[in-house]
Chains A and B, each alone.
Chain A
Amino acid sequence: MPDERNDKFLDELLDASLRHYSDAAPRERLEGRVLAQLRSARAARSQRRWVWALAVGVAATVVIIAGIAIHKPVPVRPMTASQHASEPQPKLTRGPVGPGLALAKATPRGGPTHTKNLAGKTGNHGLASQLAEAHWPAQFPTPAPLSEQEKLLLAYARWMASSAQKNPAVEEQQDNLEIPLLTITALNISPLEGEKDNPEK
Chain B
Amino acid sequence: MHAPGTETLSGLRTIADAAGEDLEAAVEQYARTVYRVAYSVLRNHHDAEDAVQETFLRLVRHQKDWVAVRDRRAWLARVAWRVALDRRRAAPEISLEDAAGAVRDLRAAGASADEIAEREQMTALLAKLIATLPEDLRNVVTLSTVEDLTSPEIAEVLGIPEGSVRERLMRARGILKEKLSRCLERKDARRKE
Q: Give residues in A with beta carbon < 8 Å to B.
A: 6, 9-24, 26-27, 30-31, 33-35, 37-38, 41-42, 45
Known contacts A6-B181, A21-B145, A22-B145: A14-B173 contact under CB 8 Å: yes
Q: Give residues in B with beta carbon < 8 Å to A.
A: 20, 23-24, 27-28, 31-32, 35-37, 39-40, 45, 48-49, 52-53, 56-57, 60, 107, 113-114, 116-118, 122-123, 125-127, 130, 141-142, 144-147, 173, 176-177, 180-181
Chain B residue nearest to A6 (CB atoms) is B181
For B40, the chain A residues whose CB sits under 8 A away are: 21-22
Chain B residue nearest to A26 (CB atoms) is B35
For A6, the chain B residues whose CB sits under 8 A away are: 181
For B176, the chain A residues whose CB sits under 8 A away are: 14
For B113, the chain A residues whose CB sits under 8 A away are: 9, 12-13, 15-16
For A13, the chain B residues whose CB sits under 8 A away are: 113, 116-117, 122, 180
Shortest Cβ distance from residue B145 to the other chain A in the assembled complex, whole angstroms:
4
Known contacts A10-B181, A27-B45, A41-B60: A18-B144 contact under CB 8 Å: yes
Interface of A is mostly: helix
Beyond the given A26-B48, A26-B52, A42-B60, could you list 11 further A-B residue pairs with CB under 8 A, ordered by the A residue number?
A13-B117, A14-B173, A14-B177, A16-B116, A17-B117, A23-B36, A23-B145, A24-B35, A26-B35, A37-B56, A45-B60
Of A10, A14, A19, A34, most B-chain CB atoms within 10 Å = A34
For B36, the chain A residues whose CB sits under 8 A away are: 22-24
Q: Are B114 and A16 in contact (CB under 8 A)?
A: yes
Complex CA distance for A70 and B181, rounded to whole angstroms: 86
Known contacts A16-B117, A26-B32: A34-B60 contact under CB 8 Å: no
Q: Are B60 and A21 in contact (CB under 8 A)?
A: no
Shortest Cβ distance from residue B130 to the other chain A in the assembled complex, whole angstroms:
8
Known contacts A14-B176, A20-B118, A27-B45: A38-B23 contact under CB 8 Å: yes
Complex CA distance for A9 and B39, rounded to whole angstroms: 27
Complex CA distance for A44 and B35, rounded to whole angstroms: 25
Residue of A16, A26, A38 near B49 (CB, 8 A) is A26
- What are 5 residue pairs bridging A and B, where the CB atoms are less than 8 Å apart in the complex? A23-B36, A24-B45, A26-B48, A26-B49, A42-B60
Q: Are B45 and A26 in contact (CB under 8 A)?
A: yes
Complex CA distance for A200 and B64, rounded to whole angstroms: 129
